[in-house]
Amino acid sequence: MIPFPREILAVEGARQIADGDVVIVGTGLPLLAATLAQRTHAPGARLVIESGVVFPKVVPTPVSVVDPRLMHGASRHGSLYEALGGMVQRGLVHTGFLGGAQIDRYANINSTRVAGKRLPGSGGANDIASHCRKVVILTDHERRRFPERCDHVTSPGFLDGPGARKAAGLPPLEVKVITDLCVMEAADSALAVTALMPGATLAAVRAETGFAVEAADVLAEVAPPTTDELTLLREVLDPDCVYFPERKSEK
């Protein structure tokens, strides 16, 4: 089975969740990645949904954070206030998944406006970036998404650089950006490439990034999905190609 690039993205996202982690996820690939983790290596992962569902056993895969299928086996059906205020802002959530229109070299995220065009805004993204210990960003790798500086900072990474986050009164943060080309990481520093997706090159990453790309001395290669992972994704979690419409061409 040959995986599509976004399938590798989802699987690598799932690998960021350890068994027992408390994770907040939103609509899209993060929700699919979290569900995949819960069905494979992290059955004890405890999911928090921004809409207020706490610790569900997700069966089958929902299509949004307000899908009733998210409520199966939940410890609580609460509210946005309880998820963000009662869980995230109290430091009870270890990992948060985010996306955005722009991610700059210091892992700041813009989901508010680009070139004067208004975007959906923060939702709970600012809370997650401000209070979680680890943030995982899943995104396509396009030059327009990775500027030197975001047009607007919706959710803080490391602001202007080393020490700026602490000076702003924010707790330490580990960031991992997973794209269809590479994995970039940072902890109070600029993002640096630490691994490449199968078949990708550092030159390709640099061509699609709007800031000078730093890289580890030795770059790992992301392990492709296993046959079992792809079978689970395609036949159980996304049989109708809701998350991966590109697969319809194979049907």
CATH label of the domain that carries residue 117: 3.40.1080.10
Please name the residue ranges forming H helices in the chain: 5-14, 29-39, 80-81, 125-131, 164-167, 202-207, 227-231
pLDDT tier at 249, thresholds 50, 70, 90 = confident
Quote the pLDDT of residue 115: 87
Q: Is residue 188 part of a domain?
A: yes
Active site residue 221: no
What DSSP element (H or E) covers 161? Answer: none
Does residue 245 lie within any of the structural domains?
no
pTM for the whole thing?
A: 0.94
Per-residue model confidence as pLDDT tens digits over 67-94: 888 899 999 999 999 999 999 999 999 9
Asked if the model's pLDDT at residue 251 lies above 70, the reply is: no
Q: Is residue 249 situated within a structural domain?
A: no
Q: Give me the sign of the Cα torsion angle 173, 129, 64, 113.
A: negative
pLDDT confidence of residue 247? 87
> Distance (Å, rounded) from C-alpha 145 to C-alpha 62?
27
* Contact (Cβ atoms closer than 8 angstroms) between residue 50 and residue 89: no
pLDDT digits (tens, 9 = 90+) for 94-147: 999 998 899 999 999 999 999 889 998 888 999 999 999 999 999 999 999 999
Q: Which domain, by its residues, includes 135?
A: 5-237
Identify whether 110 is part of a domain: yes
Q: Tell me whether residue 248 is in a domain.
A: no
> What does the pLDDT read at residue 230?
95
Residues 225-248 have pLDDT tens digits of 999 999 999 999 999 998 999 888
Asked if residue 250 has pLDDT above 80, the reply is: no
At residue 57, the pLDDT reads 87
Asked whether residue 111 is assigned to any structural domain, the reply reads yes
Q: How many domains does the chain have?
A: 1
Annotated catalytic residue: which of 50, 82, 208, 221?
A: 50
In a domain, 244, yes or no: no
Evaluate if residue 55 carries a pLDDT over 70.
yes
**For range 218-223, the mean pLDDT:** 96
> If you write DSSP's letter for every residue of 90-145 in order, what string do you get?
TT---EEEE--SEE-TT--EE-SEETTEE----TTHHHHHHH-SEEEEE----GGG
Q: Which of 191-195, 211-215, 244-248 has the lowest mean pLDDT?
A: 244-248
Considering the domain boundaries, does residue 99 fall inside one?
Answer: yes
Position 53 pLDDT exceeds 90: yes
Say whether pLDDT at 60 is over 80.
no
Quickly state the pLDDT bin for 64 (edges 50, 70, 90). confident
